[in-house]
A and B are shown apart, each in its own frame.
Chain A
């Protein structure tokens, strides 16, 4: 079976789902089911009795077979991210943490220095660390060196829907990495998820493209199929590009031509 291996965990799906931006908890749960995912991200927030429906722990637990990957969104420093990870692990019981440190709300670009420091600490504490990072091959390698379970470079800015604008760098990261590379952020359509998988990504993480679709359930299913298709294509071997035409039909021995 071609499963996604992350630490000691195995997932049959290579689609990881974010749970933000959905119109309702019901819509989110339906999308999670339709996606076939086994790994979803959640965010740590203060409890508000007026918005008790925002608490997703119970509803996600009801689905079964779902592992939580809390993110550290909201953290602007390594210290804050480490603290958020500790609290999240207490609540989730999951060793996964998506390290996400973006101090500037305008572009939401990850801070590579604080991210590296948080990952170093959390990996040494036994977390399965999955950092959201800029598509930087040097940083990706440094994060692998400190024990990250995977690296999750962005395809483009969070929620932008600009697709695989970092494709060139992603290819280098995939080529050089010994750990799974997961594209996180920016994907807009299933075709882009398929392209990421054909490129050699181990998985993709999708949130906005599914959550804001007119029919999130159908879009989750479409992404699931695209990820599967891309993975199968990668394993089957995508043909190389050629600078010139290469005929698929014989060009000789046609009617009325010399033998």
Chain B
């Protein structure tokens, strides 16, 4: 299992946070458009689209050859070794 050190700071003006400091974030490895990427465990398809820079425009998303519709992306959790493809329309004849 891989972990990444994440720095977490309390931003509340009165300091009313439960935690401020360093934490270990569990990471998983996926393939995004053919490239291996380490992402935080618990990431959703929506989160990955933002990571890929495709959060704004219409795209098709395929995870392990299954189409993930827009309505399901917020709740679709990714897991270790998932194959994710984000697709758009390019010019073609």
Give the interface centre of A87, A90, A185 by most chain B CB atoms within 10 Å: A90
B13 contacts the other chain (Cβ, under 8 Å)? no
CA distance A33 to B88 in the complex (A): 22
On whether the beta carbons of A47 and B62 are closer than 8 Å, the reply is no
Inter-chain contact A47/B91, CB cutoff 8 Å: no
B88 touches A57 (CB 8 A): yes
Q: Are A42 and B91 in contact (CB under 8 A)?
A: yes
From 39 to 93 in chain B, residues with beta carbon under 8 angstroms from any chain A beta carbon are 52-54, 57-60, 62, 65, 67, 69, 85-93
Could you tell me how many residues of chain B have their Cβ less than 8 Å away from some Cβ of chain A?
22
Tell me the number of A-to-B contacts counted with CB atoms below 8 Å: 102
List, sorted by A's number, 10 A–B pairs whose CB atoms are closer than 8 Å: A19-B93, A42-B92, A44-B88, A47-B33, A55-B88, A58-B58, A73-B92, A90-B69, A91-B59, A159-B93
Q: A42-B90, A45-B87 are in contact. List 13 more A-B contacts (CB 8 A).
A: A20-B92, A21-B93, A22-B91, A41-B92, A43-B92, A45-B90, A54-B91, A56-B89, A60-B89, A71-B93, A73-B93, A90-B69, A207-B93
Q: Which 5 A-B pairs have the closest CB atoms?
A: A43-B92, A18-B93, A207-B93, A49-B53, A42-B89
